[in-house]
Amino acid sequence: MTQSEYPQGLSDTHEATILSSTRYTPETTDEVRQIVLTLNEPSFYYLEGQTIGVLVPGPHPFGNAFHHRYYTLAHVRQTEQGVELELLVRRCFYIDEVSGEEYPGIASNYLCNAQTGDRISLTGPHASPFWIPADKEYNLLMLGTGTGIAPFRAFLRRIYQEQKDWKGKVRLYYGAKTGTDMLYMNDVNNDLSLYYDQETFQAIQAVGKSLLGDEGDALKGGVADHAADIWKLIQEPKTHVYLAGMKKIATALDEVMVQTAGSSELWLQTKERLIQERRWSELTYQ
Ligand SMILES: Cc1cc2nc3c(=O)[nH]c(=O)nc-3n(C[C@H](O)[C@H](O)[C@H](O)COP(=O)(O)OP(=O)(O)OC[C@H]3O[C@@H](n4cnc5c(N)ncnc54)[C@H](O)[C@@H]3O)c2cc1C
C-alpha cells in the first residue's frame, strides 16, 4: 500500500508491527485484548487521550477500498528503536437488520486476529477532545465503560507516575456487566490498583445489577448511587468532566443529574457552562 493510495485526509501514516496480543477478559465474557505495536519512529509524539487510526486493507463490502477505525492510545512507551503503542480493543460483532445474521466488525476482528510480527497500517495520532489540565489543582471526573477506560488509564499513569503531586480530586466511575469485565481492575490485570493508595484518587466500580443490562446501565446505577457527590464536584470551578465508552452514558448522566439538580434547566445550564469553559470532554462510540 503506498501513501497516495490511502483515503483522503489520512496521509499521515505509519507502518507498525504487532509485538504482542493478550486477552484481557476471561473466555466467559466479551473479548477485549491488549495489543502492543512497535513503531520504528523515535519522533512519534502523542498526548494522553489521543487516538490512532487503523487502516484495514480491502477489498471491503460496498466496494470500499479501505476500512478505517479509531483506537485510543492506552499507553505509549519510548524505546531505543522507536515507540511501543498499547491499545485496548474489543472484538465487535453486529447483526444485519435485514438478514438477522451476525457479522464480525472489520477493524476490531482484524486487530484481534493479528499475530505477533504482523504489519499494520496506522494513521495519526489524531487530535482528541481529551487532555489533562495544566493546573494540578483541577478535579478530574472520569466516567466510562468498556475500552473507554484506555484514556483514563493513560491519564492516571501520567499524573501519578510521571507528574506526581496531583492535588485535585480524581474520581473514576466505571461501569461493567460483571466484575471480570472491569478492565484493568480484574483478576487478569489489576493495573489501576497501583493508584489506590493515592490520597486524591478514588475508583468507583459499578457492576451491573441485572442480567439483561449492559455496562451503560451499570454505570448509570453507580452514578445514581453517588449522584450528590458527582453534582457537588461538577459545580466546583476547577472540575473537568470526561466521558468515554458507550454513547448512551452521556444520556444516562443527563438523566441522573436532572433529578439531582432538581430541574433539567439547571442541569443543562451547568453542563453548558462546562462546555463553554472547555471543561467537558466526550469520546463515546458504539
Ligand atoms: C475516537 C474513538 C476512539 C475509539 N477507541 C476505541 C478503543 O480504544 N477500543 C475499541 O475497542 N474501540 C474504540 N473505538 C471504536 C472503534 O473505532 C470501532 O468503531 C470498533 O472497533 C468497531 O469497528 P469495526 O471495524 O470492528 O466494526 P465495523 O465493521 O465498522 O462495524 C461496526 C458498526 O458499524 C456498522 N457498519 C459497518 N459497516 C457499515 C456500513 N458500510 N454502513 C453503515 N454501517 C456500517 C455496523 O452496523 C456496526 O454497528 C473508538 C472509536 C472512536 C470514534
For 131-144, what is each residue's pLDDT tens digit? 999 999 999 999 99
* pLDDT score, position 77: 87
Class of domain 139-285: alpha beta
Residue boundaries of the structural domains of the chain = 3-126, 139-285
Element (H, E) at 172: strand 170-176
Summarize pLDDT for 9-67 with one digit per residue, the tens.
Answer: 565 789 999 999 999 888 888 899 999 999 998 788 888 889 999 999 888 877 778 89
Q: Residue 23 Cα, ligand 1 centroid: separation in angstroms? A: 19
Element counts in the chain: helices (H) and strands (E):
6, 13
Q: Which atom of ligand 1 is nearest to the CA of 283?
A: 1
Q: Torsions phi, psi of 54, nearest 5?
A: -110, 125
Q: Which of 48, 71, 282 to mutate to test the pocket of ligand 1 (most atoms within 8 A of CB)?
A: 71
Q: Residue 46 Cα, ligand 1 centroid: separation in angstroms? A: 22
Cβ < 6 A, ligand 1 pocket: 51, 62, 67, 69-72, 88-90, 92, 94, 105-109, 147, 150, 283, 285
* pLDDT score, position 6: 47
Q: Which atom of ligand 1 is nearest to the CA of 64?
A: 41
- Kindly state the cell numbers that stand for 103: 457479522
pTM attached to this predicted model: 0.86
Low-confidence ranges of the chain (pLDDT < 70): 1-11, 286
Backbone conformation region of residue 151, classed left if phi is above 0, alpha if psi is from -120 to 50, else beta: alpha
Domain at 3-126: CATH code: 2.40.30.10
Closest residue to atom 9 of ligand 1, CA basis: 89
